[in-house]
Amino acid sequence: MTEPQISVLLVDDHSLVRRGFRRMLEDDPSIIVVGEAEDGHQAVQLAAELHPRVVVMDFAMPSMNGAVAARHILRAAPDTAILILSMHAEASYVRTCLEAGARGYILKNALDLEMVDAVKQVAAGKMVLDQRLGALDPPAGQSPPQLTTRELEVLQLIVHGKSNKEIAIVLSLSVNTVAVHRANIMQALGIHNTAELVVYAIRQGLVSIP
């Protein structure tokens, strides 16, 4: 009896990159790409519609990064395997994605066979980490406070330079609600101005860099 193909949703904000990944994956007859998304919001929507076995997703995307999108996807479909692709090898970025529930993290310059094998492994329930990544243990006493999924969405847009009004429009919230989230984030992190907040968020790998 033939094994069913592994269904994959590709998520990257560059169409040429998605096209290359699709060719790479579909060269293997055991994998089928069922859809493509260009940002985190579309990824969440398509994952709910298409029910892919694996979501292969870039970390750095506008509005909603891969880690936040992973949280949303896994909340609705916890059996989905998330494989994050990233240009960032820093442990802080890897930890952010794994804490969001991703089963794999590989660097974007991975060889074709590495990506195909990574998709198969996460689909089989295994954890996959790029061999070129360093140690993931955080320095003692420096683990960042846990933020909610909504707070991470707001934080991402703050780093992208959005005002409270602009964030409210993107996330369909009131301006007052965004202001409360911003205040809660700063209180949780012990930070008192936006410039420090942006620097901290990027250093800790909590957001993708615009």
pTM of the model: 0.80
The DSSP bridge partners found for residue 37 are 11
Query: Based on the domain organization, do 51 and 155 belong to the same domain?
Result: no
pLDDT in tens, 75-113: 989 999 999 999 888 888 888 999 899 999 999 887 667
Residue 140, in any domain of the structure: no
Q: Same structural domain for residues 74 and 162?
A: no
How are beta strands 31-37 and 6-11 bridged, if at all?
parallel
Asked if residue 90 and residue 194 are part of one domain, the reply reads: no
What pLDDT sits at residue 210?
59
Q: Sign of the CA dihedral 133, 137, 92, 116? A: positive
Residues 88 and 21 in one domain: yes
In a domain, 28, yes or no: yes
135 located within any domain: no
Same domain for 94 and 158, yes or no, is no
* C-beta of residue 67 within 8 angstroms of C-beta of residue 35: no
Has residue 155 been placed in a domain?
Answer: yes
Label residue 209 by pLDDT band (50, 70, 90).
confident
Query: Which CATH number does the domain housing residue 78 bear?
Result: 3.40.50.2300
State what percent of residues in the chain have pLDDT above 90.
Answer: 59
Question: 57, 72 in Cβ contact below 8 A?
Answer: no
The range of the structural domain enclosing residue 32 comes to 6-129
Per-residue pLDDT reduced to its tens digit, 20-38: 999 999 999 999 999 999 9
